[in-house]
Amino acid sequence: CMVTCWNDGFRFVKAMRDPKIECIVAQQPWLENDCILADIILPVQTKFELEDICEDISSANFCSIYREYPACPPVGESLDDFDCVAEVARKLGPEIYNAYTNNDMPKDRIIDLFYNGSGIADLDKNNDFHEKDIFVLPCDPNIQNFDLHPPGLRKFAEDPENNPLSTPTGKLEFTSTAIKKYFPDDQERPPYPKWVEKSDLHDERLTSERAKKYPLLCVSNHGRWRFHANLDDITWHREVETMKIRAKDGYQYEPCWLNPKEAQKRGIKHGDIVKVFNERGTVLCAAYVTERIRENTCYVDHGSRFDPIDAEKLDRGGAINLITPTNIISKTATGMVVSGFLVEVQKVTDEEMENWKKQYPEAFARKVDEACGVCLDSWLINNEEEN
């Protein structure tokens, strides 16, 4: 989800639409976000149709590797991810197909290679993976022996000289000796934390000259109702007003939280269609007026589905990452900058909306489900009907 989850999504859209890119192929059963930029969609199966190998290594103390079997037959002509690409390779020629599939290696053989190559065969003494379809990795028998496995930083606390930390000095550092040594002039990430008013890469402060035009700091978090860009179409989530607000035109917009004082300044009332914008583009939302957000800020959750009116500058879906800053955290740190950036919020007038409808008739003609929003079939071209 480059469009919805990363920096400056509109810039990514412009890159994908560049004429130098001859063809974009995507694999995704739900046709969300980035996939609408593709020329060809491969008919990939959902999780419920797949046979697969899966792992659970992060939800509890016991790690497991297990077989997954289909919960239902494949829908239509859908294929698993591997076979989708294999069929494309087949069209490109037998040499490419055989190289990709290892001469059409049977899937049981692939599973055996995984079992032996991963090291599970050395640990699975009772052949549980094949007999029970699940292998639970054994714990260290001395896991509760705190002398062998001391918790946290106990060894460092008791004897820091002989049990140094992984920092260059082996100690707790208030000033990063590594940054000081290798990147002493990094404006955005100095050796010790301090306020950075402005830098070569970023100018997103209320004290900035830009703030005269874009006077609100936009806060954007991982929302309560989604996981990244997933679950935006869950109907019972969309009934909650902090997830979506149904405006007077019937469309369910992403909420933009505004303090009552900021809303009053702009003539905005709760539920009004608003535009959140800066020089990178415009995202439409619905106003959620509340005292729970401070003045000089607005708040829009990350992860809403991309529903472009103009694919390179105007979005109806509320995908706020489309207008986040372009640059990474610093020249030497590749983190995302997706919150605390300058925007302005204005009420969308009836005249402005009507002008968009006249200028972009295709965007407003796309099918939208009353309960779950943007529909997949709004983007498909049925070649059989055309031919």
Averages of pLDDT over each 10 residues, the chain, 387 residues: 91 96 90 88 92 83 89 94 93 94 88 89 92 90 88 94 95 93 90 90 95 98 90 94 97 98 98 99 99 98 95 97 95 91 98 98 92 82 52
Q: How far apart are CA 123 and CA 279, in angstroms?
A: 57
Per-residue pLDDT, 349 = 98
Residue 33 φ/ψ, nearest 5 degrees: 50, -110
Q: Is the pTM value of this prediction over 0.85? A: yes
Per-residue pLDDT, 141 = 86
Per-residue pLDDT, 385 = 47
What is the dihedral angle through the alpha carbons of 356, 361, 365, 368, rounded to the nearest 10 degrees? Answer: -30
C-alpha radius of gyration, the chain, whole number: 26
Long-range CB pairs of 181-190, under 8 A, 24+ apart, other chains included: 182/332, 183/331, 183/332, 186/330, 186/331, 186/332, 186/333, 187/330, 188/329, 188/330, 188/331, 188/333, 189/329, 189/330, 189/332, 189/333
Smallest Cα–Cα separation from 254: which of 315, 193, 211, 312? 315
Buried-state track 239-263, b at ≥16 Cβ within 10 A, e below 16: eeeebbbebeeebbbbbbbbbeebb
Residue 373 Ramachandran class (φ > 0 left, ψ -120 to 50 alpha, else beta) = left
Per-residue pLDDT, 140 = 83
DSSP H helical ranges for 216-346:
235-238, 260-265
Per-residue pLDDT, 232 = 93
8 Å CB contact between 9 and 324:
yes
- The residues of the chain that CATH labels 2.40.40.20 are 209-386
Per-residue pLDDT, 386 = 44
Q: How far apart are CA 254 and CA 271, in angstroms?
A: 10
Q: How far apart are CA 376 and CA 352, in angstroms?
A: 27
Structure-block tokens of residue 210: 């830009």
Q: How far apart are CA 259 and CA 277, in angstroms?
A: 17
Q: Residue 48 gets which letter from DSSP?
A: G
8 Å CB contact between 317 and 238:
no
Smallest Cα–Cα separation from 343: which of 246, 204, 244, 234? 204
Structure-block tokens of residue 39: 């020329």
Per-residue pLDDT, 382 = 62
Per-residue pLDDT, 387 = 40
The pairing of strands 314-315 and 281-289 is parallel
Q: How far apart are CA 202 and CA 337, in angstroms?
A: 9
Q: How far apart are CA 61 and CA 122, in angstroms?
A: 21
| Topology of the domain comprising 209-386 | Barwin-like endoglucanases (2.40.40)
Q: How far apart are CA 101 and CA 79, in angstroms?
A: 15
